[in-house]
Amino acid sequence: MDIKEYLREKKVLVDSFLGDYFEGKSRPAVLSEAMNYSLQAGGKRIRPILCLAACEACGCNSSDIVSFAAALEMVHTYSLIHDDLPAMDNDDLRRGKPTNHKVYGEAVAILAGDALLTEAFGIFAEPSSFIKAGAQLAAMKELSAASGMKGMVAGQVQDMLSENAEPDEETLRFIHRHKTAALLSASVRIGAILSGAQAGVFEAISTYGDSAGLAFQVVDDILDIVGETEVIGKPRGSDEKKQKLTYPRLYGIEKSRSIAEGLVAGAIESLRGFGREADPLRGIASYLLSRTH
């Protein structure tokens, strides 16, 4: 299959939901403007797309769950806005554009992040004619677990505590698993949960999510060193400058590439019981890897 075409198509689907979702929707207007600014700042919508692809791998119609998938992008966007704050990573640029607080100020940026997170849960609670209420609750639990104190937020706290620290394999793995992989992996699982996947199918999809999620972060670390600013949307080497704990810092570029290859191979292997309906998931994993070459 043409994975680039698939990614493009699904991105259009997600963007059409997000497009005017916040337009003129808040008083004061600056709040939804700030929310929309970061949401429309050129994300690849990889979490929503993983969610849609997992739904298809389970034999379901992904257009039934676009709102849930799009809500995952809101959670991701909130985390980026907060991570970029002066008190955290203090980044001025994100995806090549001024960060939220650079445009709207710190207070509005914090609140825009808060509101994006809150809205995402609101969307997950919206009654749906396609999804059973019990499945919605389970999906929401997954989202909360992946993004809260035992997931993404924990990863971000550990990441900050580890700046300038001696590289240490276990800590690195903790940060990556929590800060990035948890939500990516949850996106895949949520697609399966909303599709009503049975235990065996869910297990396989879940294993795929864990491996692909971690691979994604390793690839991101590599791109921070070898990528072009236009591709990665922030100045090359910005992790290095902050002495962030990364795979290349600990293992070097070549070994990091091998690790990513191993993770992607594992992700694809976990889908061996699936037919062509899982081709998008397979394609996304391979595509990830191709970005590092």
Q: Which of residues 163-182 bind its own copies (CB under 8 A)?
A: 174
- Per the CB < 8 A criterion, the answer to whether 291 and 224 are in contact is no
> At closest approach, how far in Å is the CB of 219 from its own copies?
25
Total binding residues toward its own copies, as defined by CB under 8 A: 55
| Out of 3, 88, 250, 253, the residue judged to bind its own copies by CB under 8 A | 88
> At closest approach, how far in Å is the CB of 7 from its own copies?
28
278: left (phi over 0), alpha (psi -120 to 50) or beta: alpha
| Out of 15, 96, 97, 158, the residue judged to bind its own copies by CB under 8 A | 158
Using rule CB under 8 A, residue 99 touches its own copies? no
- Per the CB < 8 A criterion, the answer to whether 109 and 123 are in contact is no
Using rule CB under 8 A, residue 32 touches its own copies? yes
Using rule CB under 8 A, residue 212 touches its own copies? no
> At closest approach, how far in Å is the CB of 230 from its own copies?
29
- Per the CB < 8 A criterion, the answer to whether 104 and 151 are in contact is no
- Per the CB < 8 A criterion, the answer to whether 62 and 55 are in contact is yes
Query: Measured between alpha carbons, how far is 101 from 138 in angstroms, rounded to an integer?
Result: 34
Q: Please report, for residues 52, 74, 128, 142, 146, the alpha-carbon distance to residue 150 in angstroms, rounded to integers and kept in the order given.
A: 25, 19, 28, 11, 7
Using rule CB under 8 A, residue 118 touches its own copies? yes
> At closest approach, how far in Å is the CB of 239 from its own copies?
17
Using rule CB under 8 A, residue 35 touches its own copies? yes
Measure the CA dihedral 156/36/34/52, to 10°: -10
Give the nearer residue to its own copies in terms of CB position, either 77 or 292. Answer: 77
Using rule CB under 8 A, residue 25 touches its own copies? yes
Using rule CB under 8 A, residue 24 touches its own copies? no
